[in-house]
Structure 1
Amino acid sequence: MENELKQFVDSLLIRQVEVDTLNSLTRIFDQLTAKSFSSFITQSFQSLCALKNWAWNCLGDDSSKWIYQPEYLSLFHALSSFHRNIIFYQESIDNDIKASLLIPETNDQIDRVFQYINQSHDDNDPFIIIVGQYFDNLSFFLRENPEFDTSLIFRHINQSLAQNYLMTDQFKIYLDQLQQTELPKAIFTGKQLFYIKTCSFSLGSYLIARTQNFVFTSEEIINHIGRDYLQIMNIHTQRIETWNKEFLNVIGYLTGLVLACSWWGGGKSFAIKILLPTEQVTYDLIQSLIRIISYEPYQKYNRLEQPTKELILIYIISELLLFIIQTQSINRIFSCNPSYTKTLCEIAETSLYPFTSLCIYFMLGEILPEDKLKEMKFATHVECFFYSILEQAWHHPMRKYKQLPLSFLLRSSVSFSKNDAITQKIADLQLLSFFMEMSDEYPIVYDFIWGFSFNHDIQQQLHQNTPFIHKLTRLSNQATDEQIRKAVDGILWNLQVHQQSHPSSDISSQNTFDIMISYSHKDKSLCKQIYDELTRRNYR
């Protein structure tokens, strides 16, 4: 097969393209199996790179010469499917090799593609549909491998998309079309989907990985699309049963762009405040997002272990919901709508896609009361995935797992330390030393260890680590950060070495107490009642 590929690719490059050559190449890619992918790529790497360059050059040539020939279309679709499989299902292939097989070589190749898109007067030009597939593959690749955001090609692609498509009146016209109550299928033309779906997906995948400057700010982008996005969500999430696959894609990728603008720079931009200026607007968007992820026909995607386009879109929508929960005052919304929490619990427990499950567990960690959080059951595959991504993020040079900074993962999961099952698993797997290792760089880890330290097995492991106990004692006396000192004192108290770290001579008479209440998380509600009653009777 490898020799055949080289022969046919050489034929493409040195003589006029023949139909038999195109058909033979299509057949090779159609016959590939999952087991043969890795060896095929290794042995045919140079030919595959040459074929990639031929394809991008072909896309940048006058498409009228070939676009209506079915043999060309079949080959481009086969190549697109091949590239998608490389991105998602071939973990054994090095990411640099994947990049070489996907990313065009020059800005000129990209500029010529954009030129022909702009010159096309056919809204359903098959050329635009094929180009959309190629750009979507680049976006999927960047989403899976955000370290490639430094690529000058990705920068050029996304600056061009932002300037020439996103921030234009035509983009706004397409958004206006989507605010109609009834959306006929004919509205989803190839050109409209390129603007709304492909551009949004590319920019969302690129910007969420960026911390540096871009041609537009996140606030400018949200000012341009935010109000229309909210209106589209309000109108159409009331009737999800009418959605077709194209509209699900549009909603998912628009949401990804909104998420990227909100998260840009670690969530420090003002874009989310522009998007959600009032509590009512926040409530409406939360309601819309929950309607989508809880829609029963979409639950079949959550029960798939391997990623699909639909599954990734559901995950993107879940990510935005998590970001809103973490950054906005939403307690009243969930307390007034207990069905929302119930829905999230059901999805977390049944989803087989670990990204979605973990994202929803993060949400539950923000909104559940402590007694419910303590008893929450975590699916085994989610527990294993959680420990794995923490470890991968810790050992990544940028302290990231894909687009997710380790600081975000820790902040989102600190409430897990109050869960009995998670704490016991930490003890059983001897993972406490891993958290100790992270504590110098990420002080929030002391809150984790404090939560873990209510567990007897964890207490024994801590007692066996004398250097760490000495470190805690020193921090108890010297730390200037109140939260660090509070967590450290809590750990020492649970280990019954609190008095050594705070000698009684340092405690003034007015700060002595009549009664000390020691409790586990399970007894917190009862102990709060005891505390309130003792306080009422003037005990200290």
Structure 2
Amino acid sequence: MESIFHQLVAALHESPLSTDVLDQIVVLLQQQTDQSASSFVTSTHPSLLILERWAWELFSQESHLWIDEPSCQQLFRTLAIFNEKLIFNCGEIDMEKKGSLLFSVTIEQVNSVFMHIERSTYDNDPFIAFISIWFDNHAKFAFDNLEYTSPIINYIGRYVFNKYIKSKEYKIFLTQLRQPHLSHTIFTTKFLFYIATCPSYFNLYLVHEAKMFYDYADDIVQCFSEDYLEIIRVHSYSVASWSKELVSCIARHISLTVGCCWLDGENQPHMKAVFPTEKAVHDHFE
């Protein structure tokens, strides 16, 4: 199997790209169970690294014609699922080896990805959906391995805060989320990237770079604490009917706000800013 996988991955750089090669890689990845994944990673790590880098190469290309190719989409979906299995079910694989696969991207490639997101005018751009999955897997791994460090985490964390979280569009999306009766159509891929993926990645950055906490926490609390409290208040009456998208958005904002308060220090200035009175605390947790 290892030899076949190596040959298939090597063929990814041939032109034209063969859909049969993509389909065979999908089959091999799908065959890996929770029990076999560690052994597979150990025996095919060099080829897996090539595959992961190839994925980022496609993500960072100027042209994204591949996004319309079903076999390519299926490979990315399968690779994302395999990566999640790598994160949570491959305890025999050391942290650095996992990180080498998951963070096999350059700053230049990340910038190309962000450029495409910012140029996109399609609210349900499938490219943004794929990038969100990749960034979410970054966060899952790094939260599960807090001692892991990577300049990619720091770079993306700072970027999403300055470019997306502080943007007018982010505030507009938060205002929409404050409405009590949300149509499912509100949860576009762009909306979820802004309101779920970006806060999660930025929170990851804060956890990994605690020394930068006070440079950002004031902005977070000042700009978004009112939105946070109103979102929780409005939707607390309909928890049973929350969609998975709403759960994701609210959970990420709880995590971000709590993160700002958790790293607050003894005097808890941000906790007091979010909850200035005992009544505010009582109303929130009631």
Using structure 1 for the length normalisation, give the TM-score. 0.51
User: In 2 relative to 1, CA 260–221 (structure 1 residues): closer, same or farther, beyond 3 Å?
Assistant: same
| 2:142–2:204 contact (8 Å) kept in structure 1 | yes
| 2:275–2:281 contact (8 Å) kept in structure 1 | yes
Give the superposition deviation at 1:169.
Answer: 1.2
Partner of 1:276: 275
Partner of 2:58: 58
Q: What secondary structure, in the 3-state scheme, does the structure 1 residue paired with 2:54 have?
A: helix
Task: Please give the alpha-carbon distance, in whole angstroms, between the structure 1 residues aligned to 2:220 and 2:5.
Answer: 44
Q: What secondary structure, in the 3-state scheme, does the structure 1 residue paired with 2:7 have?
A: helix
Give the superposition deviation at 1:216.
Answer: 3.8
Partner of 1:236: 235
Give the superposition deviation at 1:66.
Answer: 1.0
Give the superposition deviation at 1:18.
Answer: 1.3
Give the superposition deviation at 1:105.
Answer: 3.2
Partner of 2:82: 82
Partner of 1:210: 209
Q: Deviations over 1:371-418 (max 9, x none)?
A: xxxxxxxxxxxxxxxxxxxxxxxxxxxxxxxxxxxxxxxxxxxxxxxx
Runs of 5+ consecutive residues of structure 1 not aligned to the other structure: 288-540
1:91 aligns with 2:88: no
Partner of 2:246: 247
User: In 2 relative to 1, CA 162–116 (structure 1 residues): closer, same or farther, beyond 3 Å?
Assistant: same
| 1:174–1:192 contact (8 Å) kept in structure 2 | yes
Task: Please give the alpha-carbon distance, in whole angstroms, between the structure 2 residues aligned to 1:9 and 1:196.
Answer: 35
Amino acid at match of 1:230: L
Partner of 2:131: 131
Runs of 5+ consecutive residues of structure 2 not aligned to the other structure: none
Task: Please give the alpha-carbon distance, in whole angstroms, between the structure 2 residues aligned to 1:260 and 1:136.
Answer: 17
Amino acid at match of 1:82: F
User: In 2 relative to 1, CA 242–7 (structure 1 residues): closer, same or farther, beyond 3 Å?
Assistant: same
Q: What secondary structure, in the 3-state scheme, does the structure 2 residue paired with 1:52 have?
A: helix
Partner of 2:220: 221
Partner of 2:189: 190
Using structure 2 for the length normalisation, give the TM-score. 0.96
| 1:57–1:109 contact (8 Å) kept in structure 2 | yes
Amino acid at match of 1:151: S
Amino acid at match of 1:234: R
Q: What secondary structure, in the 3-state scheme, does the structure 2 residue paired with 1:141 have?
A: helix
| 1:219–1:269 contact (8 Å) kept in structure 2 | no
Q: What secondary structure, in the 3-state scheme, does the structure 2 residue paired with 1:92 have?
A: coil
Partner of 1:9: 9
Task: Please give the alpha-carbon distance, in whole angstroms, between the structure 1 residues aligned to 2:237 and 2:273.
Answer: 24
Task: Please give the alpha-carbon distance, in whole angstroms, between the structure 1 residues aligned to 2:169 and 2:251.
Answer: 20
* Larger Cα-atom Rg: 1
Task: Please give the alpha-carbon distance, in whole angstroms, between the structure 2 residues aligned to 1:231 and 1:79.
Answer: 38
Amino acid at match of 1:128: I
Give the superposition deviation at 1:265.
Answer: 5.8
Give the superposition deviation at 1:135.
Answer: 0.2
Partner of 1:41: 41
Amino acid at match of 2:211: Q
Task: Please give the alpha-carbon distance, in whole angstroms, between the structure 2 residues aligned to 1:262 and 1:216.
Answer: 14
1:27 aligns with 2:32: no
Task: Please give the alpha-carbon distance, in whole angstroms, between the structure 2 residues aligned to 1:137 and 1:176.
Answer: 27
Q: Deviations over 1:111-138 (max 9, x none)?
A: 1111111111000011111110000000
**Bigger relative contact order, structure 1 or 2 (CA pairs below 8 A, ≥6 apart):** 2
After TM superposition, what 4+ stretches of structure 1 lie above 4 angstroms from structure 2? 265-269
Task: Please give the alpha-carbon distance, in whole angstroms, between the structure 2 residues aligned to 1:162 and 1:36.
Answer: 38
| 2:158–2:205 contact (8 Å) kept in structure 1 | no
| 2:41–2:48 contact (8 Å) kept in structure 1 | yes
Give the superposition deviation at 1:15.
Answer: 3.2
Q: Deviations over 1:492-513 (max 9, x none)?
A: xxxxxxxxxxxxxxxxxxxxxx
Amino acid at match of 1:33: T
Partner of 2:284: 285
Task: Please give the alpha-carbon distance, in whole angstroms, between the structure 1 residues aligned to 2:185 and 2:31.
Answer: 34
| 1:208–1:263 contact (8 Å) kept in structure 2 | no
| 1:146–1:209 contact (8 Å) kept in structure 2 | yes
User: In 2 relative to 1, CA 167–14 (structure 1 residues): closer, same or farther, beyond 3 Å?
Assistant: same
User: In 2 relative to 1, CA 266–137 (structure 1 residues): closer, same or farther, beyond 3 Å?
Assistant: farther
Q: What secondary structure, in the 3-state scheme, does the structure 2 residue paired with 1:217 have?
A: helix
Partner of 1:296: none
Give the superposition deviation at 1:35.
Answer: 2.0
Alignment of 1:164-179 (within 5 A): 164-179=163-178
CA RMSD of aligned residues (A): 1.6
Q: What secondary structure, in the 3-state scheme, does the structure 1 residue paired with 2:211 have?
A: coil
User: In 2 relative to 1, CA 67–286 (structure 1 residues): closer, same or farther, beyond 3 Å?
Assistant: same
Give the superposition deviation at 1:54.
Answer: 0.5
Give the superposition deviation at 1:85.
Answer: 0.7
Task: Please give the alpha-carbon distance, in whole angstroms, between the structure 1 residues aligned to 2:43 and 2:93.
Answer: 12
The number of residues matched between the two structures is: 286
Give the superposition deviation at 1:269.
Answer: 5.3
| 1:143–1:206 contact (8 Å) kept in structure 2 | no
Give the superposition deviation at 1:266.
Answer: 5.2
Q: What secondary structure, in the 3-state scheme, does the structure 1 residue paired with 2:208 have?
A: coil
Give the superposition deviation at 1:214.
Answer: 5.7
Q: Deviations over 1:153-206 (max 9, x none)?
A: 110010110000011111110000011111000000000000000011111222
Amino acid at match of 2:240: E
Amino acid at match of 1:10: A
Task: Please give the alpha-carbon distance, in whole angstroms, between the structure 1 residues aligned to 2:228 and 2:151.
Answer: 30
Amino acid at match of 1:202: Y
User: In 2 relative to 1, CA 216–222 (structure 1 residues): closer, same or farther, beyond 3 Å?
Assistant: same
Task: Please give the alpha-carbon distance, in whole angstroms, between the structure 1 residues aligned to 2:34 and 2:150.
Answer: 29
Partner of 1:121: 121
Task: Please give the alpha-carbon distance, in whole angstroms, between the structure 2 residues aligned to 1:10 and 1:215.
Answer: 47
Q: What secondary structure, in the 3-state scheme, does the structure 1 residue paired with 2:6 have?
A: helix
Give the superposition deviation at 1:236.
Answer: 0.4
| 1:104–1:110 contact (8 Å) kept in structure 2 | no
Give the superposition deviation at 1:64.
Answer: 3.2
Amino acid at match of 1:212: K
Give the superposition deviation at 1:215.
Answer: 9.0
Amino acid at match of 2:113: V
